[in-house]
A and B are shown apart, each in its own frame.
Chain A
Amino acid sequence: MPKEREKCPAGKEVLAMLKTVEGAVVAGEMAVNCKPDVVACYPITPTTHLTEALNKAYADGKIPEYITVEAEFSALSALVGASAAGARTFTTTGGQGLLYMHEVLFSAAGMRLPIVMLVGNRAVSSPLNIWNDEQDSISQRDSGWIQIYCKSNQEAVDAIPQAFYVAEKIFLPVMVCVDGHYLTHAVEQVDVVDEKRVQSFLPPYKYPLKLDPENPVSLGVYANPTHYQAFREDLMKDMETAKELLIEAGKKWGAVSGRSYGLFTEYKVKDAERVLIGLGSVMDNVITVVDELREKGEKVGALHLRVFRPFPREELRKALEGKNIGVIDRDISIGAQAPVYVDIAEALNGTSTKISSFYGGLGGRGIKRAHVREMFEKMKKGPVKEWVASTDVKLL
């Protein structure tokens, strides 16, 4: 039954159709509402159910073209061609699948193709592990793809049309990153905005340089040392511009759905002394602990970094300057500091901000509320850099 919701920022009444549904499946429903012309996927845990949902949509005639491929490299390569030919394209992968796409990720971004991909975040081999962390997408952060991290399935479903909106305006591909299992397999209430309203939000896709045999061009071909860097500089500049578009899309989506989005979500950050920052579903646990500690009178807060690329450097500096902050990385950079921590530390360089780094929760090791309490406690004493959710396990 449609249920009336609060007034959205634009003042209009918005009707929400709440469904109790699995994350990966409902993402497929939203992808179909965005009317992609071509989909190519190679199924991999944890987004196999999304692949199935897209396959079913194709069988039902809701997607015009579905290319079955033999691997993830081919899936993304097929979409590079389709996108350049003027098609709106969508795919999904995660973990090893994303790593297998590595080369094509850079090509797609360099060719300025607005492909949208849902990444079901999964640990990478070795050892083999199908559970969740964010090592896969974090390791692709320099590829030129916009990266949106979602803290719930509602955020994931809302991020897909916004991803198309931004991608097709700035001509950059977008990864919508959703924690594998924690979200992809979670069954929860989600409001799926219907096709008509999605279409009112999303203008039709038009690639300025359509591949056409009558007027042939080659894309992404050889560039001399004289020219190559100029293309990369242009890419860098446009990625910076994408920030404004992401904010614009987040606001416009608010008018459509009643849920607005920004580059990051602050939760009781303004007057907080200690703030934990992180990406994805772990932040829901942090928010719960913030509420709990606030009741005891502790001034704590949470910041969910929704957009990791482009990195909201200045915006974060403004929000966090002078506080005692802790960065949760569910990914590591072997032989160096944790990647998200490094970016945030750079953004706050030269300020009096105390910054702790907590890394862990890898390969399905949950970061529980007890761990969050422990992190907030450790931050009191001063900046630390250490593993989180680390336990003594006998390996052999």
Chain B
Amino acid sequence: MIIPHAKPGTSAKNLTGEWKAYMPVVEGSKCIKCGICQNFCPEGIMGVVKKVPEIDYEYCKGCSICAIECPVKCIEMERIEDD
């Protein structure tokens, strides 16, 4: 018998990144470090502004907002093969 329960703070253990069907991939050489993707990311997993984004794929849900907002189009959404 397992009772589904969680102690405080355990929601961080839910790796929501497994939801995604597409993953953002950054081409660092094209990046102008404008911080737009980092500000728009609803999950806050694009790293810090003034740096090339470092994506935490364990929590990235693959929403594509970063790729759509990027002014220099240096973020590609790549299909994750899942057979």
Contacts and interface: CB of A to CB of B under 8 A. Distances in A.
Interface in A143-170: 170
Interface string A279-317: 000000000000000000000000000000000000000
A230 B6 CA distance: 16
Contacts of B4: 110-112, 219-221, 223, 231
Interface string B1-43: 1111111100100111011000000000000000000000000
Nearest to B7: A217
A122 B5 CA distance: 35
Contacts of B11: 221-222
Contacts of B2: 112, 230-231, 234
Contacts of A234: 1-2
Contacts of B18: 224-226
A220 B5 CA distance: 6
A171 B4 CA distance: 12
A216 B8 contact: yes
Contacts of A218: 5-8
B35 to A, nearest CB: 31
Contact of A111 (B3, B7, B16, B19): B3
A209 interface: yes
Contact of A170 (B1, B3, B6, B8): B1
A61 interface: no
A238 interface: yes
A234 B8 CA distance: 24
A311 B42 CA distance: 47
Interface residues of A, number: 22
A11 interface: no
Contact of A171 (B1, B5, B7, B14): B1
Interface residues of B, number: 14
A2 interface: no
- Could you tell me the dominant secondary structure of chain A's interface residues? loop
Contacts of A220: 4-5
B5 A217 contact: yes
A210 to B, nearest CB: 11
Contacts of B3: 111-112, 171, 208-209, 219
A216 B5 CA distance: 10
Contacts of B6: 217-218, 221-222
Contacts of B19: 225
Contacts of B1: 112, 170-171, 234, 238
Contacts of A221: 4-6, 11
Q: Which of B6, B11, B18 has the most CB of A within 10 A?
A: B6
A5 to B, nearest CB: 37
A148 B15 CA distance: 40
Nearest to A222: B14
A224 B17 CA distance: 10
A114 B26 CA distance: 52
Q: Which of B4, B7, B14 has the most CB of A within 10 A?
A: B4
A111 B6 CA distance: 12
B29 to A, nearest CB: 35
A208 B14 CA distance: 24
Interface in A179-238: 208-209, 216-226, 230-231, 234, 238
A226 B16 CA distance: 10
Q: Which of A208, A218, A234 has the most CB of B within 10 A?
A: A218
Interface of A: 110-112, 170-171, 208-209, 216-226, 230-231, 234, 238
Given A171-B3, A222-B11, A226-B15, 18 more contacts: A111-B4, A112-B4, A170-B1, A171-B1, A208-B3, A209-B3, A209-B5, A216-B7, A217-B5, A218-B5, A218-B8, A219-B5, A221-B6, A222-B14, A224-B16, A224-B18, A231-B4, A238-B1
Interface of B: 1-8, 11, 14-16, 18-19
16 contacts: A110-B4, A111-B3, A112-B3, A208-B3, A217-B6, A217-B7, A218-B5, A218-B7, A219-B5, A222-B6, A222-B11, A223-B4, A224-B16, A230-B2, A234-B1, A238-B1
